[in-house]
Amino acid sequence: MKAISSSITKVVALIAAMIVALGTFGLAAAHADGYDTNTIADPDANGTITINRVSGDTQTRSFNGYRLASLKDVKTDSTGTALGSFTVETNGKYTQVIETVMGQITDTSTGKTLLDGYKANAWYYNTSVTPNINNPLGYIAATYGSVAETAEPWGGDNADGAKDTVMRQFADKLSAALAADTTTYPADADLKIGSNTVPQGLYLITETTNLANATDPGITGAAVNSAPMIVSTTYLLKDTAGNEATITTGVGTINLKATSPTITKQLTNGNTVYGDAKANPDFSIGDEVDYELTATIPSYTGYDIDTAGTDNTKARVLKIYDVAEPSLTIGSADSVTVTVTPDGSSTATTLVKDTDYTVETSTDSDSTDSYKGGTKTVINLANYVNMRAGTVSAKQGTVASGGTITVTVKATLNSKALESVSDASTKTPIKNKTSLGYSHQPNKVTDEHVQPGGEVNVYTYKFQITKKNREGDTLPGAQFAIKNNADGKYLTWTAATDTDGKNGTWGTLADKPTAAAQTSAAPADQSEPNAKGIFYSGADGTVSLNGLKAGTYTIEEIASPSGYLNINALLPSFTVTITPTYEQDTSTNPYANDAAKKASWGDYSATGLTISNSKDSHDLGLVTASTSNSGKVDVTNVTSVTQLPKTGAAGIAFFAIVGVALIGAAALFAVRARKARQAV
């Protein structure tokens, strides 16, 4: 066997460090002559491979270890702490499959396959001697161990879209070949995160973490699998005096670049905002609803890349999906804003639409649940993660792996929400959900895994007025004005005119609407009076006010039906207050260990609702309290003062006005009487 030169030693640093671990366990330079400080005692003695996870990644990960070769004639360098020289000896179990893989890879500098070059080199392949020499991994190390990449994509296609490095092709193709024949090539070791004890040597390590089973507590995302790695163990050496030493310098440790991408979503505006993000999730129809989606950028270490946008087989995938129920209208693509923040940084860079990412919206026709007919929005970040021309990543020379993509999506609560109005008995959420699609297998970069990111709820509420007379009969034709006490403005309602019933909306007036003439029936088409802020009681005496956010509303009767007193002092005015109870949805909250941030996360579910009303402002007993928290209020009209249920301040004032009028009339009569007597 041939002692490997300084280029050979780089196989460990380059196949492992450059492909995946970014140089954390590169070997010291080897010397053909070596030193006599220590020598290997037993090639099959145990060493260790320690696999360190990325900070913040708590995913349970599993790996197969294939012992491709052992090291013989190992000596340390002059310090006695690192490897100095050694001989690579291919494990006979893998000789055939390694040679097969070598036949699939062409050295572009020679135009020949690796297998051709290997069989032409008698140092590594010679069948004319006994025993035969078959050392394909030694040839790979000696010939291609000096191939280095020092920037993205760390072993995948070069950033200019050129062919994969020889080492990357070898690791990927060998990994695929072993996985395709597990009967012939069972793994030599099952490895995990942390320290693993295995026989000394060079190992191909492939991750076997199952995305479908990535359900560890506290994990909202699933794993991106790491690229295949060739790793050296630590070594137990013994000098001539029998003293032992364990070589750990530059060997035996892998720092993974594989991550567990996550995506979360929250509401960032609402009826009442507390703190920076916390919002009550209730809206009136026509209100803007703002969402923030936050995703972790996966690590694409060792993954192919399609910088030119011409080779779909090598195109990295990163997509953010936002799906809204039909009650939420997602505006144009300009309603989406995307920023990227590198890991550990507080500075965000705004990405440019159609350069860094694209936005596509479509009607969700695939769903079989409440999302059917809603809007599906896809924010496709392929340009960014493939570092294509003009992108932020191309300018910065790197994809911000482990950093954060933040997406703002603006929606509008449309009048389709009238089908999902909540009251005290039924709290019906209007839902919006998100998910993250990304490359997760280094040898199948276009294979997309979609990780759900949870749902966020919003609500809209209703109450009802029923107009009655003193006998309890319902009265059509009463006119009402509705004021939102939060801003003091009167409400208008414009009915939907589109075929899908989405463009109806609440609006406002600065001034109180002026009543129309008294009538004994509501207009056949209430669209026009509603749009002017006048709401008539219908044939059944009711006025239904649906699709309103929580808060307090003042209901003012501005005209009674024909035949009923229409004096302002006797027209009821009262308030209705909608008070929901919300509970934070912890399933989408990423801040389990940060109380302050957890408390301000904007994702809530309604757990209760109280709808209450006041007495009429004149305290005449014309307004009945909502029974059983139903949100239904009875309002009475009378034909004469004698029908008032009770006399309050307004009644006293009314009688005072009548009394003054009578006194005035009596005085006038007296004056006229005196004049009449004088004239006689």
pLDDT, average across residues 66-91: 83
Residue that is last in its domain, among 238, 255, 272? 255
Residue 313 sits in the same domain as residue 333: yes
Residue 450 sits in the same domain as residue 478: no
Q: Which two tokens stand for residue 600?
A: 């301000």
Quick: pLDDT tens for 390-417. 999 999 988 888 889 999 999 999 999 9
* Structural domain contains residue 679: no
Q: Which two tokens stand for residue 523?
A: 């207009």
Residue that is last in its domain, among 233, 255, 277? 255
- Centre a 10 Å sphere on the Cβ of residue 635 and count the other Cβ atoms it contains: 26
Predicted pLDDT of residue 575: 95
Residue 439 sits in the same domain as residue 526: no
What kind and span of H or E run contains 497? none
Residue 340 sits in the same domain as residue 250: no
Annotate 526-551 with b (16+ C-beta within 10 A) or e (fewer).
beebbebbbbbbbeebbbbbbbbbbb
Nearest to 605, CA basis, from 630, 628, 588, 629: 588
pLDDT, average across residues 621-633: 82
Quick: pLDDT tens for 647-669. 554 555 555 555 555 555 555 55
Residue that is last in its domain, among 255, 288, 309? 255
State how far the Cα of 265 lies from the Cα of 275, in Å rounded to an integer.
17
Residues 331, 355: contact at Cβ < 8 Å? no
* Structural domain contains residue 660: no
| Distance set, CA 285 to CA 272, 325, 375, 417, 465 (Å) | 16, 14, 17, 7, 19
Nearest to 303, CA basis, from 262, 358, 342, 258: 258
Neighbouring residues of 517: CB distance < 8 A, sequence distance ≥ 6: 559
Residue 413 sits in the same domain as residue 541: no
Over 60: is that where the pLDDT of 146 sits? no
Residues 230, 144: contact at Cβ < 8 Å? no
Q: Where are the alpha helices (DSSP H) in 111-184?
A: 114-119, 136-144, 166-180
Residue 231 sits in the same domain as residue 345: no
Quick: pLDDT tens for 107-120. 888 999 999 999 99
* pLDDT confidence bin for 299, thresholds 50/70/90: confident
Residues 257, 226: contact at Cβ < 8 Å? yes
* Structural domain contains residue 653: no
Question: In 38-131, at which residue ranges do the beta strands (DSSP E only) sit?
Answer: 39-40, 46-52, 62-76, 83-90, 106-107, 112-113, 125-126
pLDDT, average across residues 258-266: 84
* Structural domain contains residue 495: yes
Over 90: is that where the pLDDT of 459 sits? yes
Over 80: is that where the pLDDT of 501 sits? yes
Sign of CA dihedral 239, 244, 247, 253: positive
* Structural domain contains residue 665: no
Residue 390 sits in the same domain as residue 509: no
Peptide bond just before 298 cis, omega within 30 deg: no
Q: Which two tokens stand for residue 355?
A: 């350069």
Predicted pLDDT of residue 367: 85
Angle 166-180/95-102 helices, nearest 10 degrees? 130
Nearest to 454, CA basis, from 605, 645, 297, 656: 605
β-pairing, 461-468 vs 632-636, is parallel
Nearest to 466, CA basis, from 333, 623, 665: 623
More confident residue, 586 or 660: 586
Query: What average pLDDT does the structure give for the chain?
Result: 82
Residue 332 sits in the same domain as residue 208: no
Question: Considering the chain, what percentage of its residues have pLDDT values greater than 70?
Answer: 82
Residue 63 sits in the same domain as residue 100: yes
Number of domains comprising the chain:
3
Residue 63 sits in the same domain as residue 20: yes
For the entire predicted model, the pTM comes to 0.79
Side chain identity, residue 257: K
Nearest to 228, CA basis, from 191, 261, 197, 194: 191
State how far the Cα of 620 lies from the Cα of 194, in Å rounded to an integer.
78
Which range marks the domain in which residue 85 is found? 6-255
Predicted pLDDT of residue 440: 84
More confident residue, 250 or 503: 503
Quick: pLDDT tens for 18-30. 333 332 223 323 3
Query: For the domain that residue 580 is a member of, what is the CATH number?
Result: 2.60.40.10
* Structural domain contains residue 377: yes
Residue 105 sits in the same domain as residue 178: yes
SS3 671: helix
* Structural domain contains residue 676: no
What DSSP state is assigned to residue 12? Answer: I
* Structural domain contains residue 663: no
* pLDDT confidence bin for 219, thresholds 50/70/90: very low
Annotate 593-615 with b (16+ C-beta within 10 A) or e (fewer).
eeeeeeebbbbbbbeebebbbbb
Over 80: is that where the pLDDT of 590 sits? yes
| Distance set, CA 108 to CA 111, 112, 113, 114, 166 (Å) | 5, 7, 9, 10, 9
Q: Which two tokens stand for residue 552?
A: 């307090």
Residues 231, 203: contact at Cβ < 8 Å? yes
Nearest to 221, CA basis, from 56, 445, 393, 447: 56
More confident residue, 157 or 351: 351
Query: For the domain that residue 384 is a member of, what is the CATH number?
Result: 2.60.40.740
Of the candidate ranges 219-223, 418-422, 647-651, the one whose mean pLDDT is the lowest: 219-223
Residue 173 sits in the same domain as residue 137: yes
State how far the Cα of 199 lies from the Cα of 235, in Å rounded to an integer.
9
Predicted pLDDT of residue 331: 76
Helices and strands in the chain: count of H runs, count of E runs: 10, 39
